[in-house]
Amino acid sequence: MDIGKPSRSYRMHQAQELLKHKFHQNVVKSLASKLDIPHLRSGNATIRDNRGWRINEKSIEYCWLIGISKSFVGWCWLYSIKFNQNSFRKIHNPDELTQGIFTVDKEGKIGEFYQKHRPQDYADKIRRLTSYDLFDANRGLTLDGIGYEYLVFAPNAEIKISLNNPNSENWKVWENEVWRVGRELSLNSGIQVSKELFE
């Protein structure tokens, strides 16, 4: 069956999706480098020196990243990464939850960066949310407003979701928590664009 050549609009959409995918990869790679780990995927992360020798190995339970863009204001990213307790040779790596906020350039390279180590009893509520309206995030028209790129790395799963002005009940719960975390981190970060974004 000859389906003919893809339409011009389809080719443009495909090119945009490929650029977005490459951009996300660059953001993930840049954050991993900032955290001194080789990747953000759930599981073991082997850390090597510049000679390629293993110097540590960390156990990643999960990681999420959320890119936030606001019309006429700017954009930034939030992240959360949970490390499990493990040992590598004589090194003891504790249970650890780190969250942060950062900016990126057009290539996905991190510019300004701030991170915070959470106490053991801190509840990562974004991780604990389990209900999402995948088909009803927003049934209205979405023009200007707030957009999100939500990336999740979990055991045996990597998930990417793009959202524009979500307004369903479950997504609003998620969005409110994103803004709560974002405001808290931005206030301490000294990153001006993030302060303007979360005003």
Q: Which residue has the tokens 């000859």?
A: 2
Q: What is the value of pTM for the model shown? A: 0.89
Cα angle at 59 between 101 and 105, to 5 degrees?
25
Domain boundaries, the chain: 8-134+142-197
- State in Å, rounded, how far the first CA of the chain is from the last one: 54
Left if phi > 0, otherwise alpha if psi is -120 to 50, otherwise beta: which for 19?
A: alpha
Task: Give, for 113, the enclosing helix (H) or strand (E).
Answer: strand 110-118
Give pLDDT tens digits along the chain (199 positions).
Answer: 455 677 877 677 688 888 888 999 999 999 999 999 999 999 999 999 999 999 999 999 999 999 999 887 888 999 999 999 999 999 999 999 999 999 999 999 999 999 999 999 999 999 998 878 778 777 765 556 889 999 999 999 999 999 988 888 889 999 999 999 999 999 999 899 888 888 7
Predicted pLDDT at 137: 76
75 burial (CB, 10 Å; 0-12 / 13-18 / 19+) is middle
Kind of pairing between the strands at 54-70 and 146-154: antiparallel
> For residue 53, what are its two tokens?
């020798």
CB 126 within 8 A of CB 179: no
Fold of the domain built from segment(s) 8-134+142-197: Mago nashi protein (3.30.1560)
